[in-house]
Structure 1
Amino acid sequence: MIGRLRGLLAEKQPPHLMVEAGGVGYELEMPLSSLYRLPAIGEPVTLYTHLVVREDAHLLYGFAERRERELFRELIRLNGVGPKLALALMSALEVDDLVRCVQQDDLKSLTRVPGVGKKTAERLLVELRDRFTAWETQPGVIALALEPTRSAPVSSAESDAVSALTTLGFKPAEAARAVAAVLEDGLSSEELIRRALKGMA
């Protein structure tokens, strides 16, 4: 199991990235809540990781903090929740928001996440309630500082943002509208994604 990865951030194409360590480029997927806090391309980065081994692929998932990885592992233990849905949940809802949804039985917020229907949301609320009881007693579980990294904007920031949202499961037209609604000159793709997700929530 690859538990932690330290190297240089070589590529960043939400929700995908590549970290170069020891001459090897590791491809990872991250929830957008983690990706917002990454440094600029070429800067050193340390990520907590979770490796999923399938018959046709070895998939590596990265997280900015250990607790984010723990949440990911809790989610994929649930019946019917795979890595893709777990990433969608952690991208559309920050950790404190997800905890709040469970505490308040907020079905509406959960069903806004791509791939989460009413029945899935109801089951998530029931199964996560007991698991989050233990989490809430541990300090810092919902105190994540999700300040976006303001890296240099690129000409394809809008396209990258729409592509990232589509990868998460949003319909292309819905993703394009959400990004267009928050589009401003000089914003990075990460900031556009963050604002678009906030607007859709």
Structure 2
Amino acid sequence: MIDFVQGIVVDIDEESVIVNVNGVGYQVFVPRPEFYHPKLNQPCLIYTHHYMREDWMGLYGFQNKEERYLFRLLLGVSGIGPKGALAMIGQGNLNQVIQAIASEDEKFLTQLPGVGKKTAQRIILDLKDKVKGLSFRGNLFDIMKRKEEGIISTKHGSDLKEALKSLGYHDQEIHQVLKSLQPLIEKGEPLDRLIKQALQNLMRE
């Protein structure tokens, strides 16, 4: 997994930038290539998502982790590929897109590139619960971290997080299931019951 690339921007086209990292040129597809024109021949750090499938491998890049977070959420929606997700981020304000999903604003979403009515409905259905509760004005990860810290402040919450990590679940998945089980955690349910319920929730996802 390539988490970021840091180097000199040496070329820019309509879809991507080329970053020279210690003599190796990485092509990184970005939502707004024009953003990088002032950075041409200058040092730059780009957060990346390394996308791989049988017939294609590519790096998709973002100005910050919040853009990448939304990109990964969109990739999880049936029928949306990396190019489509990138185009949506490039044409829409990050906070506006998240708010539209949370408020089920189908009309706004259909104004994004490549998003028809059915795709907008799938986005809302799949992601509305995953973005609810996030602040549209602050840093998404700061908000998520504070919420999670409140949940895992109890011993059972902390133990549950560690148990799910040991089973190979990612931070994003763990955050969502901790949030869904918050009432049970605060109630003091036994850890074995929490783990069982968490696994059931994750399987449904």
Normalised by the size of structure 1, how large is the TM-score? 0.63
Counterpart residue number, 1:23 = 23
User: Which segment is superposed worse, 36-45 or 76-85?
Assistant: 36-45
Runs (5+) with no aligned partner, structure 2:
142-205
Alignment of structure 1 residues 98-137 onto 2, 5 Å:
98-136=97-135
Counterpart residue number, 1:149 = none
Query: 1:137 Cα deviation (Å)?
Result: 8.7
Q: Distance in 2 between matches of 1:38 and 1:100?
A: 30
Letter of the 2:40 partner, please give it. I
Runs (5+) with no aligned partner, structure 1:
143-201
Q: Distance in 2 between matches of 1:112 and 1:137?
A: 20
Counterpart residue number, 2:188 = none
Q: Distance in 1 between matches of 2:56 and 2:105?
A: 35
For the 8 Å contact 1:20–1:26, the answer to whether it is kept is yes
1:68 aligns with 2:67: yes
> What is the number of residues matched between the two proteins?
142
Query: 1:94 Cα deviation (Å)?
Result: 1.4
For the 8 Å contact 2:28–2:58, the answer to whether it is kept is yes
For the 8 Å contact 1:35–1:64, the answer to whether it is kept is no
Normalised by the size of structure 2, how large is the TM-score? 0.62
Q: Distance in 1 between matches of 2:29 and 2:51?
A: 11
**Dislocated runs of 4+, deviation >2 Å:** 34-40, 54-57, 134-139
Counterpart residue number, 1:9 = 9
Query: 1:39 Cα deviation (Å)?
Result: 3.8
Alignment of structure 1 residues 149-164 onto 2, 5 Å:
none
Query: 1:38 Cα deviation (Å)?
Result: 6.4
Query: 1:11 Cα deviation (Å)?
Result: 0.9
Q: Whose relative contact order is higher, 1 or 2, with alpha carbons under 8 Å and at least 6 apart?
A: 1
Larger Cα-atom Rg: 2
Q: Distance in 1 between matches of 2:59 and 2:69?
A: 15
Q: Distance in 1 between matches of 2:114 and 2:136?
A: 30
Question: Share of identical aligned residues, percent?
Answer: 35
- State the Cα deviation string for residues 121-147 of structure 1 (Å, max 9, x = none): 1121122210102543994239xxxxx
Query: 1:112 Cα deviation (Å)?
Result: 1.8
Letter of the 1:31 partner, please give it. P
Q: Distance in 2 between matches of 1:90 and 1:24?
A: 27
The answer to which structure has the higher helix fraction is 2
* Residues 126 and 57 of structure 1, relative CA distance in 2, 3 Å threshold: closer
For the 8 Å contact 1:107–1:122, the answer to whether it is kept is yes
